[in-house]
Amino acid sequence: MTIEPARRVQAVPPSGIRKFFEIAEERDDVISLGVGEPDFSTPWAARDAAIASLERGRTSYTANRGMRELREAIAAYSRERFDLAYDPDEEIIVTAGASEAVDLAFRAFVNPGDTVAIAQPAYISYEPGVLFAGGEVLPVVTREEDEFRLTVDALETAGAADADVLVMCYPNNPTGAVMTRAELEPIAEFAVSHDLTVFTDEIYAELTYEGEHTSIATFDGMRERTVVFNGFSKAYAMTGLRLGYALAPATAIGAMNRIHQYGMLSAPTTAQYAALEALTACDDDVEEMVAQYDRRRRFVRSRFEEIGMPCFEARGAFYLFPEVPPNWAGTADEFAESLLREQGVAVVPGDVFGEGGEGHLRVSYATGLEELREALRRIEAFVGEL
Amino acid sequence: MSQREVLELLRENARYDVADIARMTGLDADEVEATIEELESAGVIRGYRAVVDWDKLERERVRAEVELNVTLDRETSYGDIASRLAKFPEVKALRLVSGDYDFDMEVEGDSIREVSQFISEKVAPVPEITQTVTHYVMTSYKESGIEFGDGDDDDRLSISP
């Protein structure tokens, strides 16, 4: 007898990035621009707080929703930084990474058969999350001519008016697109008029290089229908510490907590102490990291333009989303595979992020400048031989 | 502001070329070139050096941090003593500091004997110098903001979501 996985698990294909990971592992000269995590270390003060918490033996569960002190700090930070006012007692939950928060939201608010519209290209975990919850995915394709921003036109074309939930992520993984207040306003109106629940993943909010990050939850009529996801992985370089959170009205957080309290009980305690310190004492570290990313962003984009790979000006996250060169006859997936095999540069083909990603590559600049320079030299050599 | 940004980048790596700095800052290459020239001629940029990990070479290189105490008289200032000491090629850095001693001097030579001789024969006899304390550098872990070590500690997955 074999254990038969549930049908909804079998229905989810393996991740499209796995093949590239396996090829990259075969050779030792690979420069990877395929990583979705900072190359910086967690700010020392945060690491020190984690160590101190261990030294004091603070290794037991915390409250299911997270340490109260941390929830208060999250509330203060969200209010001051993004004008998002949430009650630390009722409207905030601390999770094991923002990914857990996203998963909780799908499970808490998606009924079997519900339609979840996802602005694509999108982070690769949203779609499986919907399928695991028994929902159906409706791709809402954003286009390069719109700088990969979500538009009402795209929502209408996709038929999102009839969806139950809309998932969006700005600054965006994989495109690096951001949306301004003016661009978000019609989306908020659309959500309100069609009674959509909105999941907004704002994990890259701190990595906004021009202008201020705006959350869609701040528009009239949106707070009560929105779940905001954020976390410490990107801005504070804390990916391995697995700490995220969600902000939403009390009933929504209560529903998410009902699942969380049975599945996770509470987010890792050591990581919560690190996060508390990150929020209260690491602004300068974040500022320095953001300045470095910004320089790399300008550098890499300018090199792609020089190489002849058109690349719109991404203003957030740490990704660029250039097109494969016009004289490349195959798919982006084939381009990425050949580039990896021939030049040892790993990038992720846009196809794996869903519709709208075809013909593009996700290039992460969370890598040192010297390596970026060398990677782009190799890409230039590869493209030059086409 | 652009001056500051250009300086930060050159401090990070003086070998960034003008085109790279232009790409990173969003300035024109001409503007970058002009900014660097301006900083050089104003004496803000005093030189470009490599940061060397001598331990990686076969050849011995000895460095010492020397604490100097001095007494001043009516005719002699800290500046006078400093300009006398700074002229020795063995002296790589010289700073007036607050605290238990007056000058902090960095000396380099090919052997401990050479460095000791320099301090006892050239530095100690300076009449205003009342005391020297020499600390030989045993291992360098960080120089000019650059950490030494194997540097290959990126253990991230090569591809991640």
Pairing of strands A361-364, A319-320: antiparallel
List CB contacts (< 8 A) between A24 and chain B. 158-159
Binned at pLDDT 50, 70 and 90, residue B59 comes out as confident
Question: pLDDT, tens digit, for every residue of A149-158?
Answer: 999 999 999 9
* pLDDT score recorded for residue A135: 97
Output the pLDDT for position B1. 65
Q: How confident is the model at residue A116 (pLDDT cuts 50, 70, 90)?
A: very high
B-chain residues within 8 Å CB-CB of A34?
Answer: 158-160
User: Residue B152 has what pLDDT?
Assistant: 63
User: According to the model, what pLDDT value does residue A256 have?
Assistant: 98
Residue A38 and residue A356: Cα distance in Å, rounded?
A: 25
A41 touches chain B (CB under 8 A): no
User: Taking CB atoms and an 8 Å cutoff, what residues of chain A touch B158?
Assistant: 21, 24-25, 30, 32, 34-35, 346
Site from A15, A19, A295, A374 to mutate, B interface, most B CB atoms within 10 angstroms: A295
pLDDT in tens, A174-216: 999 999 999 999 999 999 999 999 999 999 999 999 999 999 9
Lowest mean pLDDT among A26-30, A159-163, A274-278, A325-329: A26-30
Q: Is A20 on the interface with B (CB under 8 A)?
A: yes
* Residue A98 and residue A230 in contact, taking contact as beta carbons nearer than 8 Å: yes
For A55, phi then psi, to 5°, come to: -60, -35
Would you state the structure tokens that stand for residue A175, as one six-digit string? Answer: 């495109």
Residue of chain B whose Cα is closest to the Cα of A298: B24
pLDDT of residue A197: 98
Q: A342: which residues sit within 8 A by CB, 6+ positions away?
A: A382
Distance from CA of B63 to the nearest CA of A (A): 29
Question: Which residue stretches of chain A are H helix?
Answer: 7-10, 18-26, 44-55, 68-82, 97-109, 126-132, 152-158, 181-193, 250-263, 269-281, 283-307, 332-343, 369-384
Provide the pLDDT for residue B56.
87
Mutation site, A102, A172, A288, A302, interface B, largest B CB count within 10 A: A302
Residue B137: predicted pLDDT = 95
Report the predicted TM-score, pTM, of the whole model to 2 decimal places.
0.92
Q: pLDDT band for A271, please (50, 70, 90 cuts).
A: very high
Long-range contacts of the stretch B10-16 (C-beta < 8 A, 24+): B10/B36, B10/B45, B10/B48, B11/B145, B12/A369, B12/B145, B13/A369, B13/A370, B14/B48, B14/B49
Q: Taking CA atoms, what residue in B is nearest to A26?
A: B158
Nearest-by-CA chain B residue for A239: B156
Whether residue B151 has pLDDT greater than 70: no
Residue A373 pLDDT > 80: yes
Contact B159 A346 (CB under 8 A): yes
How many CB atoms neighbour CB A157 within 10 A? Answer: 11
Could you check whether the bond before residue A121 is cis, i.e. omega within 30 degrees of 0?
yes
Give the model's confidence band at A346: pLDDT under 50 very low, under 70 low, under 90 confident, else very high: very high
Distance CA A76, CA A99 (A): 22
Q: Which residue has the higher pLDDT, A16 or A292?
A: A292
Q: Is pLDDT above 70 for A227?
A: yes
- Interchain contact B151–A (C-beta under 8 A): no
Q: Average per-residue pLDDT in chain B?
A: 93
